[in-house]
Amino acid sequence: MALKSVLVLTAAFGEGHNAAARNLAAALEEKGVHVEVHDIFAEAYGWANRLVREIYLLVINHAPILWSAAFFVLDRTAVVGGGMGVFGRAARLLGRTISRRNPDVIVSTYPGYGHLLDLIRRRNEAGDARLVTIVTDSLTVNSVWFRCGSDFFLVPNDATAEAMRSAAVPPEKIRVTGFPVPLVFSGPDPRIPGPPFEVLFMVNSAHHLAADVVRALIQTDNIHLTVTVGHDSGLGQALDRIAKDAGKNIEIHGWTPEIPNLIRRSHLLISKAGGATVQEALAARTPMIITQIVPGQEEGNARLLIESGAGELATTPPAIADAVRRTFSDAGRIYRERHLATGPLSHPDASRKAAAFLESLT
């Protein structure tokens, strides 16, 4: 039987969940599969969900120790599974969505949905569709991801598969398909050999350091610097002035859908260790300098890069600039080594691999 309909569940608590959902949907639609993507928690709780999300972002960016403690509690206790009853409105909405859509397969890119589905399955409201969970973290996978009744877990790399097997997840439920990245990553490599080397600095939460990072980077020879600032147009203007006052030219982007292409053309990415960012860099075979690590879920992403030799950690503007200089010194020796190290971790066709696996279930 051909795969006809897939329900993809996501949540806006970290861009990785939405990115994986969006990219998988594109790969399925390419095959003619009908896909619906839903953020059930946002749909059910509206402003309250937005408030919780803002608090979450505030905590991970400004009180990481507090988030580290919360991550530990979520990992070591059954608070999520045992407390899903408080999400009655979300459970009812999800049950109605499944009944209306009658999907062949349900895919979750956010760990809460496995437990929510367990709840509605106990009420016989979930139909008989299989649940496939796409794990968006590497190595440090919180047990919330797999303490539910998911039929399969699609993971980004072999090391994460081994970590989950070590946590007693049945091996037959684990598939290494890679993190679903935009389909453009499977195209030809657009990079032009340096120098100048293309360096992409993606400004995330640490906006207060961005000016000092740019001041340090524009003193580096043999690079072309591109900076993305998201929706912070004021920051973009300030960085442009810094470069012009120093007699330098840099490329600045506000919010843009071209991030995948910017990563693909770059020789080096400077950014935080977010799940989607790290996996897109690996898909493009672009080494990274990690500027920030959110405790818990991002620790594994950073370990994956550093332990494989595909990146390093530098958290201050002088350290970041020094890391860039070392990467491209000696005719780019370190860059070539790190580019080579990305190879075993690169899954540029992960979205299509995940879509093909879903097809195999019908």
Number of H helices, E strands in the chain: 15, 12
Full residue range of the structural domain in which residue 141 is found:
5-181+348-360
Could you tell me if 145 and 134 lie in one domain? yes
Could you tell me if 253 and 136 lie in one domain? no
Count of the separate structural domains present in the chain: 2
pLDDT of residue 266 exceeding 80: yes
Could you tell me if 328 and 352 lie in one domain? no
Could you tell me if 139 and 194 lie in one domain? no
Residue by residue, DSSP assigns 173-196 as GEEE------GGGGS---PPP-SS
Least confident among 49-53, 80-84, 90-94, 332-336 = 80-84
Burial class from Cβ neighbours inside 10 Å (0-12, 13-18, 19+) for residue 26 reads middle
Task: Give me the mean pLDDT over the 133-141 stretch.
Answer: 95
Could you tell me if 205 and 142 lie in one domain? no
Could you tell me if 148 and 285 lie in one domain? no
Could you tell me if 221 and 291 lie in one domain? yes
Q: Identify the bridge partners of residue 85 per DSSP, sorted by sequence position.
A: none
Could you tell me if 39 and 147 lie in one domain? yes
Closest CA to 348 of 159, 109, 177: 177
Could you tell me if 132 and 226 lie in one domain? no
Q: CATH number, domain at 134?
A: 3.40.50.2000
d(CA 164, CA 146): 8
Query: 315: pLDDT confidence band, cut at 50, 70 and 90?
Result: very high
Structure-derived torsion over alpha carbons of residues 145, 148, 152, 153, reported in degrees to the nearest 10: 10
Residue type at 340? Answer: L
Residue by residue, DSSP assigns 214-246 as HHHHTT-TTEEEEEE-TT-HHHHHHHHHHHHHT
Could you tell me if 52 and 88 lie in one domain? yes
Could you tell me if 352 and 278 lie in one domain? no
Could you tell me if 167 and 189 lie in one domain? no
pLDDT in tens, 185-207: 999 999 998 789 999 999 986 67
Q: In the 8-state DSSP scheme, what is residue 87?
A: G
d(CA 242, CA 231): 19
